[in-house]
């Protein structure tokens, strides 16, 4: 053995070091895969599950090969974690349940040996409807001749049904997803209130007209936001193609149903002079509306992965994009100064430019590089602006409920249906974001009697293609 050859002890030490390094890399790989789990398909939103992959991953194999959850965790509680129970409510009534004799032999009991309490939560029997006649007095002014009709907070300005019926009808449709015929059945079964499907629709429409002022307040709040997530998906209007748009901030969500998918919709909703940042995908309407954008990294990474599967030249590009994104996320976890963020942004842009300069044959990879180049000014906004998210997951999540409803209802019938749809979905989503009780909120809206006329109950802009 020459002096340059390693000894057996040195080889064992190196082997142990390599095994330790390998274990660390496996753990890091597992963590990164968990963070990037949602990049499964080139055009799938983060919430979309790929059933085939989930099924194959759960059917067997090494633990490290299991597909992690989209949020980076694993299903269920951690091993050894104490269970959580509902808080026991205070009883409204106590009933002593006793027994006189032994059910086995008939021997009479002298006294109880103890008490085994059990709390039971029960709903009261549904109550029949209360019918109230409001004798609204009207007056004529002797000075100006004006006629005034007295009002009552529980007496609606129009319609036969009160605020509870209106609120429950709207929630049954947009929270519980019931058809109008089923809403009528539910009222009759529970309360003995005869309500046709058409009457349930009119009650829901009243809720939308009463809530339109709240809808406009949400729009004004979103117009003043620094960051708005925007997305759109298809919906039918009388069997024809239309679009439902979502505009989402931390505390507000607004939906707009339009026959247009162009830049006129964000211009109408956000205003021509909107100064905030729009987080979006690569649809052409967004750069046509604003230059202050953040393009969604979830989309581009999914498309890069898809291109890598179809063309060998895409693998190093996908790997470089993934490494850049993870590195940026890791670096931004530190409390960086404005100068440090600007420098990080410059370095990252050079990395993207080096990818664009690669020579690749025509195909999916060339298309991918074209998309990267087309959005070069918009991929790294989140690096310089801490409040901006690098993905558009918030807007895509906001579209989940409309997509489910789309599958159930098929098509909106007319402009009034579009109006009701966008109004009540917006009010309900915003209530949830702000932790408010939707039923109480819908009752408050109906009781306020700030109802717009049916002539005004149409989308704000004329249809345009």
- Which residue has better confidence, 195 or 153? 195
| Any domain includes 17 | no
Burial of 114 (0-12, 13-18, 19+ CB in 10 A): exposed
| Any domain includes 431 | yes
CATH of the domain at 230: 3.30.420
402 and 285 housed in the same domain:
yes
Tokens found for residue 361? 């044959």
Q: Cα separation of 244 and 398, whole Å?
A: 11
Q: What pLDDT, on a 0 to 100 scale, did the predictor assign at position 52?
A: 45
275 and 419 housed in the same domain:
yes
pLDDT tens-digit readout, 132-141:
999 999 999 9
Q: Cα separation of 324 and 47, whole Å?
A: 23
Q: Cα separation of 416 and 414, whole Å?
A: 5
343 and 414 housed in the same domain:
no
Q: Is the pLDDT of residue 59 over 90?
A: no
254 and 401 housed in the same domain:
yes
H/E/C letters for each residue in the chain?
CCCCCCCHHHHHHHHHHHHHHHHHHHHHHHHHHHHCCCCCCCCCCCCCCCHHHHHHHHCCCCHHHCCCCCCCCCCCCCCCCCCCCCCCCCCCCCCCCCCCECCCCCCECCCCCCCCCCCCCCCCCCCCCCCCCCCCCEEECCCCCCEEECCCCCCCCCCCCCHHHHHHHHHHHHCCCCCHHHHHHHHHHHHCCCCCHHHHHHHHHHHHHHHHHHHHHHHHHHHCCCEEEEEEEEEEECCEEEEEEEEECCCCEEEEEECCCCCHHHHHHHCCCCCCEEEECCCCHHHHHCCCEEECHHHHHHHHHHHHHHCCCHHHHHHHHHHHHHHHHHHHCCCCCHHHHHHHHHHHHHHHHHHHCCCCCCCHHHHHHHHHHHCCCCCCHHHHCCCCCCCCHHHHHHCHHHHHHHHHHCCECCHHHHHHHHHHHHHHHHHHHCCCCHHHHHHHHHHHCCCCCHHHCCCCCCCCC
b/e per residue 30-54 (b: at least 16 CB within 10 A):
eeeebbbebbbebebbbeeeeeeee
| Any domain includes 426 | yes
Q: Cα separation of 324 and 300, whole Å?
A: 12
pLDDT tens-digit readout, 374-410:
999 999 999 999 999 999 999 999 999 999 999 998 8
| Any domain includes 35 | no
Please check whether residue 179 is in contact with residue 197, taking contact to mean a CB–CB distance below 8 angstroms: yes
| Any domain includes 74 | no
288 and 251 housed in the same domain:
yes
Q: What pLDDT, on a 0 to 100 scale, did the predictor assign at position 457?
A: 75
Please check whether residue 361 is in contact with residue 312, taking contact to mean a CB–CB distance below 8 angstroms: no
How high does pLDDT run on average in the chain?
87
404 and 379 housed in the same domain:
no
271 and 302 housed in the same domain:
no
185 and 142 housed in the same domain:
yes
Domain end call among 328, 355, 384: 384
Mean pLDDT of 342-349: 96
Residues of the domain holding 167: 138-203
Res. 34 pLDDT band, cuts 50 70 90: low
Res. 66 pLDDT band, cuts 50 70 90: very low
pLDDT tens-digit readout, 199-220:
999 999 999 999 999 999 999 9
286 and 405 housed in the same domain:
yes
pTM: 0.78
Please check whether residue 237 is in contact with residue 465, taking contact to mean a CB–CB distance below 8 angstroms: no
Q: Is the pLDDT of residue 67 over 60?
A: no
| Any domain includes 315 | yes
350 and 410 housed in the same domain:
no
* Residue that is written with structure tokens 């291109």 in the block: 307
257 and 325 housed in the same domain:
no
Domain end call among 331, 354, 384: 384
308 and 342 housed in the same domain:
yes
Q: What backbone phi and psi angles, to 5 degrees, belong to 300?
A: -70, -35
| Any domain includes 22 | no
| Any domain includes 119 | no
Mean pLDDT of 309-324: 93
Domain end call among 161, 187, 203: 203
- Total number of domains constituting the chain: 3
């Amino acid at each position: 053995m020459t002096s340059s050859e390693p000894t057996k002890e040195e080889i064992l030490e190196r082997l142990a070091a390599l095994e330790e390094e390998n274990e660390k890399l496996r753990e890091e790989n597992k963590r990164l895969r968990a963070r990037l789990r949602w990049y499964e398909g080139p055009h799938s939103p983060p919430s979309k599950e790929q059933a085939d992959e989930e099924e194959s991953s759960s059917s067997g194999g090494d633990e490290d090969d299991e597909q992690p959850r989209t949020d980076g965790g694993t299903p269920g509680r951690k091993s050894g974690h104490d269970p959580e129970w509902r808080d026991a409510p205070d009883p409204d009534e106590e009933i002593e349940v006793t027994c006189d004799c032994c059910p086995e032999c008939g021997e009479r009991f002298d006294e109880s040996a103890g008490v085994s309490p059990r709390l039971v939560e029960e709903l009261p029997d549904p109550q029949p409807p209360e019918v109230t006649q409001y004798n609204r007095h009207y007056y004529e002014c002797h000075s100006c001749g004006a006629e005034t009709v007295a009002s009552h907070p529980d007496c609606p300005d129009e319609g036969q049904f009160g605020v509870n019926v209106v609120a429950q009808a709207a929630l049954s449709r947009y929270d519980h997803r019931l058809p109008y015929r089923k809403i009528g059945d539910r009222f009759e079964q529970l309360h003995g209130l005869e309500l046709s499907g058409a009457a349930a629709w009119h009650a829901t429409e009243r809720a939308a007209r009463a809530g339109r002022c709240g809808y406009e307040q949400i729009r004004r709040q979103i117009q003043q936001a620094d960051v708005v997530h925007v997305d759109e998906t298809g919906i039918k209007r009388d069997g024809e193609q239309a679009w439902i748009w979502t505009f989402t901030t931390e505390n507000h969500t607004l939906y707009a149903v339009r026959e247009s998918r162009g830049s006129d919709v964000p211009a109408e909703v956000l205003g021509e002079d909107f100064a905030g940042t729009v987080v979006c995908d690569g649809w052409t309407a967004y750069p046509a509306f604003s230059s202050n954008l953040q393009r969604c990294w979830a989309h581009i990474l999914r498309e890069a992965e898809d291109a890598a599967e179809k063309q060998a030249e895409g693998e190093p590009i996908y790997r470089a994009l993934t490494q850049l994104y993870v590195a940026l996320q890791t670096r931004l976890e530190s409390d960086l100064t404005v100068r440090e963020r600007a420098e990080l942004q410059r370095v990252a842009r050079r990395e993207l430019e080096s990818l664009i300069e690669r020579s690749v044959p025509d195909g999916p990879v060339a298309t991918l590089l074209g998309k990267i180049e087309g959005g070069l000014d918009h991929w790294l906004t989140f690096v310089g602006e801490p409040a901006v998210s690098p993905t558009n997951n918030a807007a895509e999540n906001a579209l989940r409920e409309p997509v489910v409803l789309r599958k159930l209802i098929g098509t909106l019938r007319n402009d009034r249906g579009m109006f009701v749809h966008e109004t009540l979905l917006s009010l309900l989503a915003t209530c949830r974001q702000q932790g408010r009780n939707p039923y109480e909120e819908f009752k408050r809206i109906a009781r306020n009697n700030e109802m717009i006329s049916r002539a005004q109950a149409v989308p704000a802009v004329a249809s345009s293609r």
